[in-house]
A and B are shown apart, each in its own frame.
Chain A
Amino acid sequence: MNATGFRRRPRRPRRLAAEASALVIAAVVAFPLYWMVLSAVRPAGEIESAEPRPWTLAPTLDSFRRVLGQQEFGRYFLNSLVVACTVVIASALIAFLAATAVTRFRFRFRTTLLIMFLIAQMVPVEALTIPLFFLMRDAGQLNTLGALILPHIAFSLPFAIWMLRGFVKAVPESLEEAAQLDGASRSRFLWQILFPLVLPGLVATSVFSFISTWNDFLFAKSFIISDTSRSTLPMALLVFFKPEEPDWGGVMAASTVMTIPVLVFFVLVQRRLVSGLGGAVKE
């Protein structure tokens, strides 16, 4: 293994220095998250103290109560969850089919399409807010969750297809021939053989679509203009964040609530993500 290979070398002080700095850097990187949770459980007076201490002696859930008690916070949370999950599942399925098409088949315009997918990735989402706003208005989709779901599917597709390509390619073609000889239909091969094999790649890609959807606040801000019952979490967070006098306890509690699902998602897919990214880039 890598680690033991390095261990045998007589470079103890150096390695210790490396490990010490790794731990210090880990602490620095994690510090903002620690401070977020800490500020969320602090009693009201302590956050606004001029001598911030990196601990608290009287943890309280007051801020969380204030956030969760805010009207319809649960609904915002649910809205965010519905939007993110729909986007993840839909874009994974659509991207899987498309990636299969561009890697397992040779047809006219294949390369052109691939280049188009790559270019589509570069399109700045935010720049399209204006035409999308008018599109949603004309389609009567303003103030609905569909106005958030549809564009996010579109924007996560190109990257997902681009990344999945490597995974689909990695499945040996002989497998497909064997399945064909065994009499498996094409759709049977697609869903029962190829799909499970590509699943780690799908997980890695879904991380990106989940995060970008969960984090989005531009679309939520622009397309959900009057019906606040369709708002998502980032908007709820900004309720507490008034430029002049932010309710830091509330902001941090809402931030914690908003970060937790992503963290859970990450921990669940962590191993697959690392191997997935490795697979995608190695090809």
Chain B
Amino acid sequence: MTPVPTSPGGTVRSRVRGGPTVPYPRARPRRAAAWTPWLYLAPALVVLGALLVYPVGQLGLISLLEYTQAQVSGGEPTSFRGIGNYAELFSDAQFWQVLLATVGFAAACVVSTLAVGCALAVLLTRVRAVPRLALMLAALGAWATPAVTGSTVWLLLFDPDFGPVNRVLGLGDHSWTYGRYSAFFLVLLEVVWCSFPFVMVTVYAGIRAVPSEVLEAAALDGASQWRIWRSVLAPMLRPILVVVTIQSIIWDFKVFTQIYVMTGGGGIAGQNLVLNVYAYQKAFAASEYSLGSAIGVVMLVILLAITLVYLRLLRGQGEEL
């Protein structure tokens, strides 16, 4: 009598009823130690509780307080502001501008990363060992490069005075970080460069798991490369594509280091701020801890909404959690 997986709301998609995954001989020893899973989970739950759940709660709390340098140093008592911080934030035109920039920038990063990663994954399956190894190694190198170093290297490449890119393109001393969009574009290039390898390697691993007869049959039927991708590979790789898409959205929505280093903390007059950097600047540069926390809460809410979509997509595929 193995306990049937239940959960509030009956959200569990239990395995195929009567399937081989619930073998009866296991039942007795397992039931004897109902606390065993909790023992295994204890370290994880303690760490996550103390350093993730508790801070999230604190974040929400601080966002409702009046909390600036004066309160931190003890000069003034902390006072409750309710939704005052949010009201201040939402009436600030810069916040909306930063929010818009964040969404647009993240969307551009995700689309470019996925396009490049998938295209190169397909390319990897079409070439022999040596070019494949070369591309794989180059991608792993880009993947391994720390964000801080990647950012400085790309800055040097596009440096108006000493960079090779301007020389090759004949742009003279055109500054890439001066204009708002060209600065965003430069950061986008770096982000795509260091994040496409994850997509490429994962999708490549997925394509290799597709039976080669399927692809050969499609090729014999005269399907073009694009057609094969759209009608055969993409549907078969859907679960993988969902995973890499969501991961990319999460990562790109939270880009911090690249913006911070490449645009010098948010660009001229904050033109290149994204939410993450904006929250940091508000909190640590301007000592407006409660406003920074309120921005953090807004980010959290947006990412939670994305998570729910993700869960729905996984459910839609009938995948068991």
**Which residues of A approach B to under 8 Å, CB–CB?**
2-3, 5-7, 9, 15, 18-19, 21-23, 25-27, 29-33, 35-36, 39, 47-52, 54, 93-95, 97-98, 100-102, 104-115, 118-132, 134-135, 150-151, 153-155, 157-158, 161, 173, 177, 180, 186, 211, 214-215, 217-218, 222, 234, 237-238, 241, 243, 246, 248, 251-252, 254-255, 258-259, 262-263, 265-267, 270, 273-275, 277-278, 281-282
Contact = CB atoms under 8 A, between A and B. Distances in A.
A218 B41 contact: no
Contacts of A93: 43
Interface in B121-140: 123-129, 131-132, 134-135, 137-140
Nearest to B159: A248
B141 A22 contact: no
B302 to A, nearest CB: 9
5 contacts: A50-B162, A122-B303, A161-B44, A217-B147, A266-B144
B153 A36 contact: yes
A97 B52 contact: no
Given A49-B162, A100-B40, A122 B250 contact: yes
A94 B55 contact: no
Nearest to A2: B212
Contacts of B235: none
A39 to B, nearest CB: 6
Nearest to B297: A127
Contacts of A214: 146
Given A105-B36, A118-B307, A132 B51 contact: yes
A179 B279 CA distance: 53
A217 to B, nearest CB: 5
Name the residue in A48, A52, A254 with the highest tally of chain B Cβ atoms < 10 Å from its Cβ: A52
A19 B137 contact: no
Given A112-B8, A218-B280, A157 B44 contact: yes
B303 A124 contact: yes
- If over half of A's interface residues share one DSSP class (helix, strand or loop), that class is named, otherwise mixed; here it is helix
Given A26-B137, A105-B37, A107-B38, 13 more contacts: A6-B126, A19-B127, A111-B321, A122-B300, A124-B254, A127-B276, A129-B280, A154-B52, A248-B162, A274-B205, A278-B202, A281-B205, A281-B243
B97 interface: no
Contacts of A237: 148-149, 152
A15 B202 contact: no
Contact of B21 (A22, A155, A173): A173
Given A3-B129, A26-B134, A217-B148, A112 B7 contact: yes
A109 B6 CA distance: 8
B163 interface: yes
B162 A48 contact: yes
Contacts of B111: none
B134 A23 contact: yes
B47 interface: yes
Contacts of A134: 58, 62
Nearest to B5: A106
B276 A277 contact: no
B283 interface: yes
B142 A32 contact: yes
Nearest to B189: A32
Interface stretch (B26-34, B79-87, B180-188): B26-34
Contact of B161 (A23, A50, A153, A252): A50
Interface string B176-214: 000000000000000001000000011011101100100
Contacts of A234: 146, 148
